[in-house]
Amino acid sequence: MTGRHGKPLGVAVVGYSFMGKAHSNAWRNVGAFFPDTPAVRQQVLVGRDAAAVKAAATRYGWADAETDWRAAIARDDVDVVDICTPGDTHAEITLAALEAGKHVLVEKPVANTVAEAERMVAAAEAAREHGQRTMVGFNYRRVPALELARRLIAEGRIGSVRQVRASYLQDWLTDPAAPMTWRLRKESAGSGVLGDLGSHVVDQVQHLLGDRVVSAAGHLRTFVPTRPGPNGPERVTVDDAAWATLETTNGVVASVEVSRMATGRKNALALEVYGDHGSITFDLERLNELQVLEGPGGEAAGARRVVVTEPHHPWVGAWWPPGHVLGWDHTFTIQAAELLTAIASDTDPAPSFADGLAVQKVLGAIEESAGQRGGRVDVVHTQ
């Protein structure tokens, strides 16, 4: 299958480090595993360091490298702009790409502020009239086990949900000598672990429940206030860890805990959903599994381990035979496939920019609450 003009859809990825690499791998593989999606051509990889971006482009299979994202967006052979840059540039690049008539995929969090996210939603709505599609890269929505969990919850298999326990813990900042990065500066990252990992968690809470968070109480903490910077010690201006309790429209209470200083935890996203007659739990470090308890059961009741590798499980049929597990990188390939499918079928892909904005509002409420010693703050959704 080809793009709308009979030619492969040209893709530009802006950013070539960790996320740019993950997305490059996705664009490279998507056609092989999802042959019914429109064909793509890896047209151009964008980065500021000419030599480094050129080397990355060669390594990851891009036709060209470019140091100016505006030049990449202006190209006629680019149809999709995929933004993998720090959050402070998301709004500017997105608005320019939409203005230039492109489809846009933007990494999470959608933006650094609610105001920026609102501008992006408005621009996406206008561009939609011209058939342009927009999507936020909450890649954990593409973990087959989590999509199965969402479907089971929606079918009422664990009953009416009362509470959620959600955490996302990493430890790459445990050492106080770990150097400054853009992720630790408010001007580039917007917030610390709250936006980086908290955004995934809040999106999962809302997505798994099909519900919106309507109030939040939060607490933020920066454990290491200065770190070695390029010009000597530099102040860390964002949070290292964050905690929150959230309430949803349907009265579900979720506890959230995120940290990049949880010694020994590498990339531990854990989600536990408790209903009135069952529960579902998930741990990203065991990505192909769900623990499911359906109904109260009898003497031998207990959660059963479901290995989510059957061809009828979400997206799994595109990959390997049962038991041949998937990994973190597959989520990005599935994400690319979902966007391409939406482009080909003229439908709205999810997660939308409005979903990104809904997350941003919750993050904003957590920050506001933390600034007033944890008082509960309402979240008002207009979409």
Which residues in this chain contact ligand SOE in the complex, by CB under 6 A?
18, 170, 196-197, 267
**Least gap, CB of 196 to ligand SOE (angstroms):** 5
126 backbone dihedrals φ, ψ, rounded to 5°: -65, -40
- Amino acid, res. 85: T
DSSP 122-167: HHHHHHHTTT--EEEE-GGGG-HHHHHHHHHHHTTTT-SEEEEEEE
**Least gap, CB of 250 to ligand SOE (angstroms):** 27
How many residues are present in the chain?
383
Nearer to ligand SOE, 22 or 123 (CB): 22
Kindly state the greatest CA–CA separation across the chain.
Answer: 66
User: Minimal CA–CA distance to 266: which of 278, 246, 283?
Assistant: 283
Nearer to ligand SOE, 163 or 267 (CB): 267
**Least gap, CB of 275 to ligand SOE (angstroms):** 27
**Least gap, CB of 183 to ligand SOE (angstroms):** 7
Residue nearest ligand SOE, CB atom distance: 196
Nearer to ligand SOE, 118 or 196 (CB): 196
Q: What angle do CA 90, 93, 97 make, to 5 degrees?
A: 130
- Amino acid, res. 120: M
User: Minimal CA–CA distance to 369: which of 360, 379, 354, 359?
Assistant: 379
Nearer to ligand SOE, 109 or 349 (CB): 109
- Under DSSP, the state recorded for 270 is E
**Least gap, CB of 1 to ligand SOE (angstroms):** 29
Tokens of residue 299, six digits: 């003497």
Nearer to ligand SOE, 102 or 142 (CB): 142
The half-sphere exposure of 26 on its side-chain side, counting CA atoms within 13 A, is 31
The C-alpha atoms of residue 67 and residue 14 are separated, in whole angstroms, by 9
**Least gap, CB of 99 to ligand SOE (angstroms):** 27
Nearer to ligand SOE, 46 or 258 (CB): 258
The C-alpha atoms of residue 108 and residue 53 are separated, in whole angstroms, by 22
Alpha helices in the chain (DSSP H): 18-33, 50-60, 69-74, 90-99, 114-128, 144-154, 186-189, 193, 199-209, 328-345, 353-371
Nearer to ligand SOE, 261 or 340 (CB): 261
**Least gap, CB of 295 to ligand SOE (angstroms):** 34
